[in-house]
Amino acid sequence: MKKIIIFSLMLVSALSVDAQRKRTRTATSQGNVVVRLGMGINSTKSDPDLDPINRTSTINFTPSVGYMVVDNLELGVDLSINNSWGENVTTQSPVVNKNVTDATNVGFGVYVQKYFPLNNWFAFTTKVDLGLSTGSYSSDAVNGSITTPSGGVTSGAGGSANFGFAFTPYNAFSLQANIAGFGIQSTKNDPDGVAPGNPVTNTTEFGFNVHRQTTNLSLVWFFGRGLWKKN
């Protein structure tokens, strides 16, 4: 009887240790795969009582795949697709005068993200990324029945450091957003039919932003041992 009791206690202790080990494994533990989907839509319209009308719309799609190389440290690759459209109407009568623009930009890069857990639900994040981009744009100047098209291609490289937070209501699902960041971007604009008044231009931008828009919100899924199983 004594041996049975001792064996039972040893078994319960082993199961308890195993259960505790499972509970201590989190979404940001080493070996997990991270799939992230970010998407945003922005639209603005200015329509005063007089003729001018200005409206723009932008949609961006930013998926990424990462791997937790060690606990709380993610390394991955990301893709960005951005399309913007705008219409600037200066007069509507007696003839329509407007400019219509359409631009698409695609980017590819690598990133590293560090998590600083506060508890089981919240963590601060720091993300550093580097990438390349390429795109094209068109601009149609409309004057009544006459349309004058123009356009070109762009290419660039840049990097940024972003600071934000992660909210993990479920052990394998998280909502993440950047709340501040700074970055640098170098872009080359190569217009079609380069002329003296429309040359190739190189632009370098540096900026720091706080309180970003909700378009930075990302849905994140973690895949690893036992994350999608009920304990």
Mean pLDDT of the chain: 82
> Which of 16-20, 38-42, 143-147 has the weakest average pLDDT?
16-20
Residue 54, pLDDT > 70, answer: yes
Q: What pLDDT score does 19 carry?
A: 40
Burial class (CB in 10 A: 0-12, 13-18, 19+), 164: buried
- Each residue's pLDDT tens digit, 62-99: 899 999 999 999 999 999 999 999 988 887 778 888 88
> Which of 12-16, 118-122, 207-211, 212-216 has the weakest average pLDDT?
12-16
| Domains, in order of start, for the chain | 2-223 (2.40.128)
Calpha distance 229→208 (Å, rounded): 41
Residue 40, pLDDT > 90, answer: no
Share of the chain above pLDDT 90, in %: 42
Mean pLDDT (whole number) for 164-172:
91
Q: What is the pLDDT confidence band of residue 10, given thresholds at 50, 70 and 90?
A: low
Calpha distance 136→188 (Å, rounded): 11
Six-digit token pair at 22? 């499972």
